[in-house]
Amino acid sequence: QLKLVESGGGSVQPGGSLRLSCAGSGFGLNYVNIGWFRQAPGKEREGVSCIGGRSPNIDYADSVKGRFTISRDIAKNTVYLQMDSLKPEDTAVYYCAAEQAPSPPTCALLPRYGYWGLGTQVTVSS
């Protein structure tokens, strides 16, 4: 059973940075597509970024392009989300998610992820 645990959230001022981690156990994260999603109070969950398992594709939501970077450390079985130039509208609970194996050949920010972590809070405020 694949288990995902997020960490790295916190409170930062606008313009600051955070790096979120998604540690996997029970299955290699490099074999499945991994996505980062977020949900702000009163809003629907939205896709932020994803990284392909079987392919090297990466995708970002328009709202975070140029500011967020997704990466993967196979040896640590961990996927990261580096968040720079944070804005108050980035405030949300951030979740990592994994598609079931075998994953589609490319990742996408679509509601097709079957494994979810519990989330980590990110607050951007002055």
Residue 47: the pLDDT is 97
Residue 38: the pLDDT is 98
A 10 A CB-CB count for 3 gives: 12
In DSSP notation, the chain reads --EEEEE--EEE-TT--EEEEEEEESS-GGGS-EEEEEE-TTS--EEEEEE-SSS--EEE-TTTTTTEEEEEETTTTEEEEEE-S--GGG-EEEEEEEPPSSPPSS--SSS---EE---EEEEE--
Beta pairing partners, 115: 98
Residue 84: the pLDDT is 98
Residue 111: the pLDDT is 85
CB within 8 Å of 51: residues ≥ 6 apart: 33, 34, 35, 57, 58, 70, 71, 72, 79, 107
The amino acid present at 80, given as its one-letter code, is Y
Residue 17: the pLDDT is 98
Residue 111 and residue 7: Cα distance in Å, rounded? Answer: 22
Residue 117 and residue 82: Cα distance in Å, rounded? Answer: 18
Residue 76: the pLDDT is 96
pLDDT in tens, the chain (126 residues): 889 999 999 999 999 999 999 999 999 898 899 999 999 999 999 999 999 997 879 999 999 999 999 999 999 999 999 999 999 999 999 999 999 888 888 899 988 999 999 999 999 999
Lookup result for tokens 């679509």: 110
